[in-house]
Protein backbone atom coordinates (compact mmCIF):
# COMPACT_ATOMS: atom_id res chain seq x y z
CA UNK A 1 0.00 0.00 0.00
CA UNK A 2 2.78 2.39 0.91
CA UNK A 3 4.57 1.58 -2.30
CA UNK A 4 1.49 2.41 -4.31
CA UNK A 5 1.17 5.82 -2.67
CA UNK A 6 4.85 6.45 -3.14
CA UNK A 7 4.55 5.74 -6.83
CA UNK A 8 1.70 8.19 -7.19
CA UNK A 9 3.46 10.90 -5.25
CA UNK A 10 6.41 10.50 -7.49
CA UNK A 11 4.44 11.97 -10.35
CA UNK A 12 5.71 15.10 -8.67
CA UNK A 13 9.37 14.52 -7.97
CA UNK A 14 10.64 14.00 -4.46
CA UNK A 15 12.38 16.75 -2.53
CA UNK A 16 15.37 16.30 -0.30
CA UNK A 17 14.44 18.67 2.51
CA UNK A 18 11.33 20.72 2.94
CA UNK A 19 7.55 20.48 3.16
CA UNK A 20 4.91 18.64 1.21
CA UNK A 21 1.32 19.82 1.39
CA UNK A 22 -0.72 16.83 0.34
CA UNK A 23 -4.43 16.08 -0.09
CA UNK A 24 -5.36 19.56 -1.21
CA UNK A 25 -8.79 19.69 -2.91
CA UNK A 26 -7.75 19.99 -6.59
CA UNK A 27 -9.41 23.33 -7.29
CA UNK A 28 -7.90 24.91 -4.21
CA UNK A 29 -4.23 24.46 -5.08
CA UNK A 30 -3.78 27.96 -6.42
CA UNK A 31 -5.62 29.48 -3.46
CA UNK A 32 -3.21 27.66 -1.15
CA UNK A 33 -0.32 29.07 -3.16
CA UNK A 34 -1.78 32.54 -2.78
CA UNK A 35 -2.47 32.27 0.96
CA UNK A 36 1.06 31.00 1.65
CA UNK A 37 2.49 33.61 -0.71
CA UNK A 38 4.41 30.89 -2.54
CA UNK A 39 4.45 32.76 -5.84
CA UNK A 40 7.19 34.88 -4.27
CA UNK A 41 9.18 31.82 -3.13
CA UNK A 42 12.71 31.65 -4.54
CA UNK A 43 13.38 27.96 -3.93
CA UNK A 44 12.20 24.90 -5.83
CA UNK A 45 8.46 24.56 -5.90
CA UNK A 46 6.71 21.54 -7.39
CA UNK A 47 3.01 21.61 -8.00
CA UNK A 48 0.67 18.87 -9.07
CA UNK A 49 -3.07 18.91 -9.34
CA UNK A 50 -5.87 16.57 -10.40
CA UNK A 51 -3.64 13.66 -9.39
CA UNK A 52 -5.33 10.39 -8.55
CA UNK A 53 -6.00 9.84 -4.90
CA UNK A 54 -7.50 6.77 -3.30
CA UNK A 55 -8.91 8.87 -0.46
CA UNK A 56 -10.22 11.82 -2.42
CA UNK A 57 -10.58 10.73 -6.03
CA UNK A 58 -8.51 13.66 -7.19
CA UNK A 59 -6.13 15.79 -5.20
CA UNK A 60 -3.53 18.49 -5.41
CA UNK A 61 -0.04 18.49 -3.95
CA UNK A 62 2.62 21.13 -3.43
CA UNK A 63 6.23 20.37 -2.57
CA UNK A 64 8.43 23.16 -1.34
CA UNK A 65 12.14 22.56 -1.09
CA UNK A 66 13.93 23.95 1.94
CA UNK A 67 10.81 25.46 3.44
CA UNK A 68 9.47 24.56 6.87
CA UNK A 69 6.21 26.02 8.09
CA UNK A 70 5.23 27.12 11.56
CA UNK A 71 1.84 25.80 12.73
CA UNK A 72 0.00 29.13 12.53
CA UNK A 73 1.46 29.72 9.09
CA UNK A 74 0.25 26.43 7.62
CA UNK A 75 -3.07 26.45 9.49
CA UNK A 76 -4.08 29.49 7.47
CA UNK A 77 -4.88 27.13 4.59
CA UNK A 78 -7.28 25.00 6.67
CA UNK A 79 -10.33 26.99 5.55
CA UNK A 80 -9.70 26.46 1.81
CA UNK A 81 -8.10 23.05 2.16
CA UNK A 82 -9.49 21.35 5.26
CA UNK A 83 -8.33 17.92 4.04
CA UNK A 84 -4.70 18.98 3.61
CA UNK A 85 -1.83 17.26 5.38
CA UNK A 86 1.58 18.72 6.00
CA UNK A 87 4.49 16.35 5.57
CA UNK A 88 7.96 17.36 6.69
CA UNK A 89 10.78 15.83 4.68
CA UNK A 90 14.36 15.58 5.86
CA UNK A 91 16.91 13.73 3.79
CA UNK A 92 14.15 12.37 1.49
CA UNK A 93 12.44 10.83 4.52
CA UNK A 94 9.14 11.69 6.11
CA UNK A 95 9.90 12.95 9.61
CA UNK A 96 6.49 14.41 10.51
CA UNK A 97 2.95 14.24 9.18
CA UNK A 98 0.02 16.23 10.45
CA UNK A 99 -3.39 17.47 9.41
CA UNK A 100 -3.99 21.19 9.15
CA UNK A 101 -6.20 22.69 11.86
CA UNK A 102 -8.55 25.64 11.67
CA UNK A 103 -6.93 28.46 13.70
CA UNK A 104 -8.73 30.59 16.33
CA UNK A 105 -8.28 33.78 14.33
CA UNK A 106 -8.53 34.24 10.57
CA UNK A 107 -6.98 37.25 8.91
CA UNK A 108 -7.31 38.56 5.35
CA UNK A 109 -8.39 35.27 3.72
CA UNK A 110 -12.17 35.44 4.08
CA UNK A 111 -14.63 38.11 2.97
CA UNK A 112 -17.24 39.27 5.49
CA UNK A 113 -20.64 38.23 4.16
CA UNK A 114 -22.31 41.40 5.49
CA UNK A 115 -22.42 43.86 2.56
CA UNK A 116 -22.76 46.75 5.01
CA UNK A 117 -19.56 45.83 6.87
CA UNK A 118 -16.85 48.48 6.72
CA UNK A 119 -14.38 45.89 5.35
CA UNK A 120 -16.55 45.59 2.22
CA UNK A 121 -16.66 49.33 1.76
CA UNK A 122 -13.13 50.52 2.49
CA UNK A 123 -9.71 49.02 1.94
CA UNK A 124 -9.45 47.25 5.30
CA UNK A 125 -8.07 43.72 5.82
CA UNK A 126 -10.68 41.37 7.30
CA UNK A 127 -10.29 39.70 10.71
CA UNK A 128 -12.46 36.98 12.22
CA UNK A 129 -12.66 35.04 15.45
CA UNK A 130 -13.56 31.40 14.89
CA UNK A 131 -16.62 30.72 17.06
CA UNK A 132 -17.18 27.12 16.04
CA UNK A 133 -14.74 24.95 14.17
CA UNK A 134 -16.96 22.00 13.29
CA UNK A 135 -19.83 24.05 11.85
CA UNK A 136 -17.45 26.87 10.95
CA UNK A 137 -18.84 30.12 12.27
CA UNK A 138 -16.67 33.20 11.94
CA UNK A 139 -17.39 36.39 13.86
CA UNK A 140 -16.25 39.55 12.12
CA UNK A 141 -13.92 41.62 14.31
CA UNK A 142 -15.45 44.80 12.86
CA UNK A 143 -19.20 44.40 12.24
CA UNK A 144 -19.60 41.52 14.77
CA UNK A 145 -21.82 39.60 12.34
CA UNK A 146 -21.36 35.89 11.87
CA UNK A 147 -20.22 34.48 8.55
CA UNK A 148 -21.22 30.80 8.45
CA UNK A 149 -19.93 27.92 6.39
CA UNK A 150 -22.57 28.28 3.67
CA UNK A 151 -21.74 31.92 2.94
CA UNK A 152 -17.97 31.90 3.16
CA UNK A 153 -16.25 33.55 0.22
CA UNK A 154 -12.50 33.83 -0.12
CA UNK A 155 -10.72 37.03 -0.99
Partner 1 sequence: MKNKSLVSINDFSKEEHIRILELAGAFEKRPKQRILEDYVVANLFFEPSTRTRLSFESAATRLGARVIGFSDSSSSSVQKGESLRDTILTVSNYCDIIVMRHPKEGSARFASEVATVPIINAGDGANQHPTQTLLDLYSIRKTQGKLDNLNVAFVGDLKYGRTVHSLVMALCNYNTTFHLVSPLELKLPSSVKIHIKNSQLAYHQYTDLLDVIPQVDILYMTRIQKERFSDPIDYEKVKNSYILRNSMLTEARSNLKILHPLPRVNEITTDVDDNPKAYYFTQALNGVYVRQALLAAILGVVE
> Which residues of this chain interact with partner 1, rule CB under 8 A?
112, 114, 116-119, 121-124, 140-146
State how far Cα 109 lies from the chain centre: 11
Closest approach, Cβ 18 to partner 1, in A, equals 37
Between 42 and 123, whose beta carbon lies closer to partner 1? 123
Closest approach, Cβ 120 to partner 1, in A, equals 8
**How many residues does the structure list for the chain?**
155
Closest approach, Cβ 84 to partner 1, in A, equals 31
Between 40 and 122, whose beta carbon lies closer to partner 1? 122
- Residues sharing a CB contact under 8 Å with residue 144, sequence separation 6 or more, in sequence order: none
| Nearest partner of 83 among 103, 100, 70, 67, judged by Cα | 100
CA atoms within 13 A on the CB side of 116: 2
Between 69 and 113, whose beta carbon lies closer to partner 1? 113
Amino acid sequence: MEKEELRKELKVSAIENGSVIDHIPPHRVFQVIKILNLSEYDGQLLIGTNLESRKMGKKGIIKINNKFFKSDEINKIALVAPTATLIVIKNFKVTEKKKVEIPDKIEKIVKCFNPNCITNNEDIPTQFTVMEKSELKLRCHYCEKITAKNNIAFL
